[in-house]
Amino acid sequence: MRHFPEPFRIKTVEPIKVTTREYREAAIREAGYNTFLLKSEDVFIDLLTDSGTSAMSDAQWAALQLGDEAYAGSRNFYDLEKAIQDIFGYRYVVPTHQGRAAEHIMSKLLIKAGDWVPGNMYFTTTRLHQELAGGNFVDVIIDEAHDPTNAHPFKGNVDLAKLQKLVDRVGPDKIPYISYETCVNMAGGQPISMANLRELREFCDHHGIKIMLDNTRTVENAYFIQKREQGYADKSIKEIVREICAYTDGCTCSAKKDGLVNMGGFLAMNDEDFFVEAKAQVVIYEGLHTYGGMSGRDMAALAQGIREAVATDDYIKYRVEQTNYLGELLTAGEVPHVIPHGGHAIFLDARRFLRHIEQEQFPAQSLAAAIFVETGVRAMERGNVSAGRDPKTGENRRPALELVRLTIPRRVYTQSHMDYTAEGIINLYQKREQLRGLRFVFEPKQLRFFQARFEPIAGD
């Protein structure tokens, strides 16, 4: 079997547009060589993100019809709360319209100006909210995570020696929590191991530091633990997810990923005081604490999505193995990319793909634009542009990883879409010398990758 087949059949289809190279050249020029600024209808296969792009099941569509749109006390909230309590095991739930809203509230409540917030690498919105709350982010992920050629099976792990160093330097009182992400997005969708989390729990108990989980991709992470970690082969995905959460004090979650919905998120915790404060904040920024920016039907679809993702192990096996299938094709075509293959995406290594373009000329941005022109596939830059500038020096951050992310929406594309994508990228790799770097023509101050515009630097 080349690839674990889709454990579903297709009931509704959405046509996508086939375009010419000339058409796509004009479209990317108009978009300032930023794939975020392309129109969706000009894209053939959209691998920009797996965020909010999932296909919902028939049961989720049915759930939409059962939305209770009461301002207060919607029955869908109570059902969502129950789904989150059952599956993730946290006591208290605060709904938000998406993940960053949960990050905003958590950062505001837990971080004081001058605090330090360690994390296993950063996520764009997560770190920004930590900084806006006056915190300083410190990366404590293992060194292997910064090396795209290192095949370590759990590149999301925290390096406890790095964490110890931080504790020694600033003291545990200045560290409100560690921000612990499952299937670390910016490292290439790389999982954490249960052994690492268990050790971290011990460390944090000893120093009185909380562990706040970024729960966005815990189901995907559970699959890697089942597949790779000793002692977990016979545990269900549901059991593994529950165990991960049990080692943490609370979480933020973008439900637009593992939650299998187009919009939604939540904050969950075990501490009652934190819950009471978070409920007070959600009313200010999101909406009443029984909807938090979601409509009743959104909460209904999310409750169903959370349950579906772990109902059997087949869905997540298909999902992660489909990503792996694309990675295997690129490996066969000798296209440089991050290994091991992540859960939600394959990350091309733009440094090695475009050795002739230096990092200040944004090779990953240039590669994402070229993939679109070559194939109609939309990818995303995750490198120098995404990393932004250091707030103190104003210099580009120049991250070690200069990547282009091919992100697979859940239950949306088939194996032949993966075949087409891989073939196009392999073709482009063969003529990579023709690609040129880019320079900014417009650079936003924050989260610049979303709206920045570029122009090509002329060749010789």
Ligand X SMILES: *Cc1c(COP(=O)(O)O)cnc(C)c1O
**CB of residue 269 vs ligand X: minimum separation in angstroms?**
17
Site for ligand X in 270-329 (CB under 6 A): none
Q: Catalytic: 123?
A: yes
From the list 24, 31, 43, 51, which residue makes contact with ligand X (rule: CB under 6 A)?
Answer: 51
> Is 382 considered catalytic here?
yes
Q: What is the 3-state secondary structure (H, E, C) of 107-138?
A: HHHHCCCCCEEEECCCCHHHHHHHHHCCCEEE
Q: Give me Rg for the CA atoms of the chain.
A: 21
Which residue of 32, 67, 95, 99 would you call a contact of ligand X, by CB under 6 A? 99
| Shortest Å distance, C-beta 248 to ligand X | 14
- Which CB atom, from 257 or from 307, has the smaller least distance to ligand X? 257
Residue 86 vs residues 75, 150, 213, 388: alpha-carbon distances, Å = 17, 36, 17, 39
Q: Which is nearer to ligand X, 60 or 185 (CB)?
A: 185
Nearer to ligand X, 210 or 257 (CB): 257
Number of residues that bind ligand X (CB under 6 A): 15
Q: Which stretch binds ligand X (CB under 6 A): 37-45, 240-248, 251-259, 356-364?
A: 251-259
Question: Under the criterion CB under 6 A, does residue 256 sit at the interface with ligand X?
Answer: yes
71 catalytic? Reply is yes
**CB-based closest residue to ligand X:** 99
Q: Which of 95, 265, 305, 399 binds ligand X (CB under 6 A)?
A: 265
**Distance in angstroms (rounded) separating the CA atoms of residues 75 and 338:** 44
Where in 141-261 does DSSP place strands (E)? 177-181, 210-214, 250-254
Q: Two tokens at 153?
A: 């099976």
CA–CA distance, 409 with 421 (Å, rounded to integer): 14
Q: Is the dihedral of CA 401, 425, 52, 283 positive or negative?
A: positive
CB of 189 vs ligand X, minimal distance in Å: 9
Return the H-helix or E-strand segment holding 381: strand 380-382
Q: How far is the CB of 427 from ligand X (least distance, A)?
A: 30
Query: Burial letters for 415-453: b for 16+ Cβ neighbours within 10 Å, e otherwise?
Result: eebbebbbebbeebbeeeeebbbbeeeeeeeeebbeebe
Span between the terminal Cα atoms of the chain, in Å: 48
Helix, strand, or coil (residue 424): helix
The catalytic position among 24, 217, 257, 351 is 257
| 258 in contact with ligand X (CB under 6 A) | no
Contact 204, 210 (CB under 8 A): yes
Catalytic residue, candidates 42, 115, 159, 214: 214
The site map against ligand X for 386-425 (x = CB under 6 A) is: ----------------------------------------
* Tokens standing for residue 34: 């930023």
Name the minimum Å distance from CB 42 to ligand X. Answer: 23
> How many residues are present in the chain?
460
Footprint (CB under 6 A) of ligand X, residues 153-192? 181, 185
384 neighbors 397 (Cβ within 8 angstroms): yes
Annotated catalytic residue: which of 123, 177, 266, 454? 123
By C-alpha distance, which of 216, 160, 157 is closest to 190?
157
Binding flags for ligand X, 118-157, as an x/- string (CB under 6 A): -----x-xx-------------------------------
At 190, phi and psi to the nearest 5? -95, 130
Any residues with CB less than 8 A from the CB of 192 and at least 6 apart, and which? Answer: 120, 154, 156, 157, 158, 180, 181, 182, 183, 184, 221
Catalytic position from the list 382, 405, 410, 411: 382
Query: In the annotation, is 449 catalytic?
Result: yes
In the bound state with ligand X, the residue whose beta carbon lies nearer, of 184 and 435, is: 184
Catalytic residue list contains 214: yes
Q: How far is the CB of 216 from ligand X (least distance, A)?
A: 4
Rounded to a whole number of angstroms, the minimum distance from the CB of residue 264 to ligand X is 8
Binding map of ligand X across residues 204-223, x = CB under 6 A, - = no contact? ----------x-x-------
The residues carrying an active-site annotation are 71, 123-124, 214, 257, 382, 449
Contact positions vs ligand X (CB under 6 A): 51, 98-100, 123, 125-126, 181, 185, 214, 216, 254, 256-257, 265
